[in-house]
Structure 1
């Protein structure tokens, strides 16, 4: 069942193909400041519903991860990155990290939160 998410002003809207089994709280400098809980998907499981021009992008340090946010209200919406599950970037397996706090009509408290030590990993 598809789930829709949106930023605060509703100018950025996206859909994912299914509910996440877990969400990730990362302690890196970016994630800890944004407060996002990330649900990860393959690119074909994600759809940006609104025009790309309504989305702004921030790339930090290595420029490996594209952090997207609403150009109007500033909510951190989704990111594009290689798979990092092994601790190293796997560029052959890109992933989309969606800010699960933005899911509409979804009980986020029903999903396990996994904490990763991004502060010390990268």
Structure 2
């Protein structure tokens, strides 16, 4: 995943994510192994969420897209920088 995406991502089980507005504007893409499904707004291009490759039963959700969430509140949490290996590729 490109390090320039700069999303703040939280994990959620597939059954626990509900898109309440704008689902008709979402588009999806896949690449490489085509296991992960990456969703983005077809109007503005923002990444909203993806079905994970490392755990296909889980979504990664860009919390920057969640109304009322301030990403500054999460700066203390560790992160993947997008430059190092994907967790599923580590031996």
The TM-score bracket by the shorter chain reads 0.7 to 0.9
| Counterpart in the other structure of 2:20 | 49
Q: Is residue 2:41 matched to residue 1:67?
A: no
Change (3 A) 1:51 1:117: closer
In the alignment, structure 1 residue 36 sits paired with structure 2 residue 10: no
| TM-score for the superposition, normalised by structure 1 | 0.59
CA contact (8 A) 2:8 2:62 kept: yes
* Greater strand share, structure number: 1
Unmatched tracts of structure 2, length 5 or more: 87-91
Question: How many aligned residue pairs are there?
Answer: 85
Q: TM-score, normalization: structure 2?
A: 0.76
**Structure 2 residue aligned with 1:97:** 60
Q: CA RMSD in A?
A: 2.0
Deviations 1:63-94 (A, max 9, x none): 11111000111111111124x3xxxxx44xx1
Q: Structure 1 regions of 5+ residues with no counterpart?
A: 1-27, 85-89
- Alignment match, 2:89: none
